[in-house]
Chains A and B, each alone.
Chain A
Amino acid sequence: MDAEQQGAVKRRAGHVPGEEGVWVLIMGDMLVFSIFFATYLIYRAQNVVLYTSSQLSMQRGFGLLNTVLLLTSSWFVALAVSEARAGGRERAMRLLLGAFACGIGFVVSKAFEWGGKIQAGITLNSNEFYIFYYMLTGIHLLHVLIGLIVLGYLIARSRRPDPGASYVLVMEGGGAFWHLVDLLWIVLFALLYLVR
């Protein structure tokens, strides 16, 4: 039985990608963020005019660019996990570098976006909408930074002459965390930039 067939058998039985602990973290994070999202809409309902007028200053192009960057990084990571499973560590490592570059791109673009806002005098104290904007994108950015550290570790692990028995499991778990970062941004982008 080759690796792909073994994988297929394992999948039929139901396979938890990565360590189970990773999923406690992921589901917990998803729950916390969904409470943030609901809180945003509840506060917005008290002052819709303030929120929609503040949203006019949002540069949606940044939001769109960030979304495409994260989707593309997730694509690289999903391909890397698939390669790692098939034994192609060299290719997995190169794909992870692509994902890492997209993640750095996200951070740089966020720095420009925030920088532009701060220069225009729009800060956390400007109004309630911007409190949500800076807090939510800030907490998300923290996730991106942690995700980049995870990707860095996966790259280093892929380069090792012997990546260890847990290599594929670590790739799956680390990959799932990176996809979480992407998943949360998708809703955040819709709520903060597009929903009026």
Chain B
Amino acid sequence: MLSTPLRRITAVWLLLVLATLFSWESAHVGNDHRLSSSIVLVIAFIKVRFVGLEFMELRHAPLPLRLIFEIWLLAACAALLILYWLSPMA
């Protein structure tokens, strides 16, 4: 039986692998590239947040460090989504 922190780490890993497979699928289905690509990007940044908070343990970090990470995450995700939507369709 795994101890609590080990169980939590393993649950996060499983979630990340499932999210990878889901974004893989959503990239393959549907005709609306814009929507599926946006979903893929958002899922990527949700995964990044899990890696940062859980694996890098920023969840327990002092607030300034965690805030720098969260702000970077939001800014990067928003910037990439805006740039993507401003691009012409293929």
What are the residues of chain A within 8 A of B24 when measuring CB–CB?
60, 64, 194
Q: A interface, how many residues as a size bin?
A: 35 or more
A34 B72 Cβ-Cβ under 8 A? yes
Q: B interface, how many residues as a size bin?
A: 35 or more
A158 close to B (CB within 8 Å): no
What are the residues of chain A within 8 A of B1 when measuring CB–CB?
none
State in angstroms the CA–CA spacing of A143 and B3 once bound together: 32
What are the residues of chain A within 8 A of B44 when measuring CB–CB?
186-187, 189-190
A15 B55 Cβ-Cβ under 8 A? no
State in angstroms the CA–CA spacing of A107 and B4 once bound together: 32
Closest chain B CB from A162 CB (angstroms)? 25
- In the complex with contacts A78-B9, A79-B6, A194-B27, A14-B86 CB distance below 8 A: no
B83 A42 Cβ-Cβ under 8 A? yes
Known pairs A189-B44, A196-B36 / 10 extra A-B pairs, C-beta < 8 Å: A15-B57, A41-B84, A60-B24, A72-B17, A78-B9, A79-B6, A82-B6, A86-B3, A191-B41, A196-B37
